[in-house]
């Protein structure tokens, strides 16, 4: 594994040097007044990036998984019922977490590669006349399958059912890379991590709570302490923190938000779409298909690529790592051995993306797959060169 090469896993991403340096700061006394200048802009930046005017941002020294736990333990009571669709490994894990915390989960099983079925959610909610369901869980971008679901449609289904359940959205691999509309989608708790769209090291669980979610905090009976947003809220009000914060990562988050907002969110999303388009053109040129069942589900942060039947897709990832020093993502769970994943989120340039495509190509040829060297690269080059000017113009 050479650290000279980019990584093509769907997070942690390649990190801009400026962000690494912002994280790698000398020790700062987090009880001094300097801490406020890090904490509060980081929180404000996240709020702006998820497009909310009023969400309260709580940031924990943890991973995205800790963010899931924050969402449920701060709002629900033991035995509460929630509804969740399972369309990949990460939605599966969130469901498992709920069960381990004593919640009853109504699971909507969906073929991996499909999106969240807003209609099925709607039917279940409509049938729940007693409003026993307290929360709806939705994985915005299923990192395991490269499937982006339509949260606006889910909200519409909830509204159509006239159901008061809270809406929890896992935006771990979407926030900062693809549009996320906390306010207009009526999200109640959003969850993400530092190591995806924010291009930072792992280590921050980032959550956003709506007013409705904060009201639920008052009555939530699930035990919690480390992830208790009440302690966060109280200490934030005095520019403090309930325990020792990860100051460097927060400083990195502050700068990451500044960078994304200064580039302009629309430009950031267009940049991700363009890089993803190149990767998808390559996949097409190889005669292969994405795990995502239809173009409206294509994720701009990760592509899961189906390999031919009978071929173990994990071999591509192992081969890339051992022979070329390049990291791709393996298939997980239901699609283990059936897909490999190219992560393309964060500050990946077209030039870097081409090196990943070229590497995947070499691996597939090395392993006997019927792929023509240069074919995917050429298709991606065509995408990149035909859009390079437009990007430059947009950035002006």
| Site membership for a copy of itself, residue 202 (CB under 8 A) | yes
141: enclosing H helix or E strand: strand 141-142
Largest CA distance in the chain: 62
Smallest distance, Å, CB 240 to a copy of itself?
12
| Site membership for a copy of itself, residue 227 (CB under 8 A) | yes
Residues 134-193 that bind a copy of itself (CB under 8 A): 193
75-103: b (≥16 Cβ within 10 Å) or e = bbeeebbbbbbbbbbbbbbbbebbeebeb
Smallest distance, Å, CB 375 to a copy of itself?
7
Closest to a copy of itself by CB, 163 vs 196, is: 196
Contacts with a copy of itself, 331-360, as mask; x by CB under 8 A: ----------------xxxxxx-xx--xx-
The DSSP bridge partners found for residue 74 are none
Sole window of 116-124, 125-133, 184-192, 378-386 interacting with a copy of itself (rule: CB under 8 A): 378-386
By CB under 8 A, the count of residues binding a copy of itself is 99
In this chain, which of 237, 244, 309, 393 binds a copy of itself, going by CB under 8 A?
244
| Site membership for a copy of itself, residue 4 (CB under 8 A) | yes
Residues 95-114 that bind a copy of itself (CB under 8 A): 96-97, 100-102
* C-alpha span between 353 and 381 (Å, rounded): 10
CA-to-CA separations, 40 to 93, 231, 241, in angstroms, rounded: 31, 16, 11
Contacts with a copy of itself, 51-90, as mask; x by CB under 8 A: ---------xxxxxxx--x--------x------------
Closest to a copy of itself by CB, 133 vs 200, is: 200
Smallest distance, Å, CB 275 to a copy of itself?
12
In this chain, which of 327, 336, 369, 394 binds a copy of itself, going by CB under 8 A?
327
Closest to a copy of itself by CB, 45 vs 248, is: 248
| Site membership for a copy of itself, residue 27 (CB under 8 A) | yes
| 300 token code pair | 């701009």
| Site membership for a copy of itself, residue 256 (CB under 8 A) | no
């Amino acid at each position: 594994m050479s650290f000279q090469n980019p990584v093509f896993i769907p997070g942690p991403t390649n990190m801009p040097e400026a962000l690494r340096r912002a994280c790698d700061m000398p020790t700062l006394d987090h009880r001094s007044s300097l801490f406020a200048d890090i904490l509060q802009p980081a929180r404000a930046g996240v709020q702006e990036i998820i497009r909310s005017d009023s969400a309260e941002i709580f940031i924990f020294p943890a991973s995205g998984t800790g963010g899931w736990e924050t969402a449920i333990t701060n709002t629900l009571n033991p035995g509460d019922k929630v509804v969740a669709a399972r369309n990949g490994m990460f939605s599966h894990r969130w469901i498992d977490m709920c069960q381990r915390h004593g919640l009853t989960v109504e699971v909507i099983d969906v073929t991996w590669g499909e999106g969240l079925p807003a209609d099925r959610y709607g039917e279940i909610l409509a049938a729940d006349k007693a409003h026993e369901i307290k929360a709806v869980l939705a994985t915005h971008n299923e990192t395991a399958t490269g499937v982006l679901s339509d949260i606006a449609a889910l909200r519409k289904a909830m509204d159509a059912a006239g159901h008061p359940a809270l809406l929890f959205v896992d935006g771990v691999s979407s926030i900062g890379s693809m549009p996320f509309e906390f306010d207009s989608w009526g999200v109640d708790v959003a969850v993400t991590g530092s190591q995806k769209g924010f291009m930072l090291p792992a280590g921050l669980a980032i959550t956003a709570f709506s007013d409705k979610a904060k009201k639920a905090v008052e009555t939530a009976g699930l035990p919690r302490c480390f992830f208790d947003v009440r302690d966060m809220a109280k200490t934030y009000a005095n520019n403090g923190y309930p325990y020792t914060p990860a100051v460097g990562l927060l400083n990195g988050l502050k700068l990451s938000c500044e960078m994304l907002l200064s580039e302009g969110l629309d430009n950031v999303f267009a940049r991700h779409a363009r890089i993803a388009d190149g990767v998808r053109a390559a996949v097409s040129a190889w005669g292969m298909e994405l795990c995502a069942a239809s173009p409206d589900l294509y994720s701009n942060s990760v592509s899961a690529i189906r390999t031919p039947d009978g071929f173990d897709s994990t071999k591509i990832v192992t081969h890339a790592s051992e022979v070329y020093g390049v990291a791709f993502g393996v298939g997980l769970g239901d699609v283990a051995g059936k897909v490999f994943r190219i992560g393309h989120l964060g500050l990946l340039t077209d030039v870097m993306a081409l090196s990943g495509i070229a590497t995947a190509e070499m691996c597939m040829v090395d392993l006997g797959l019927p792929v023509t060297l240069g074919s995917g690269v050429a298709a991606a080059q065509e995408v990149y060169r035909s859009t390079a000017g437009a990007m430059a113009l947009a950035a002006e």
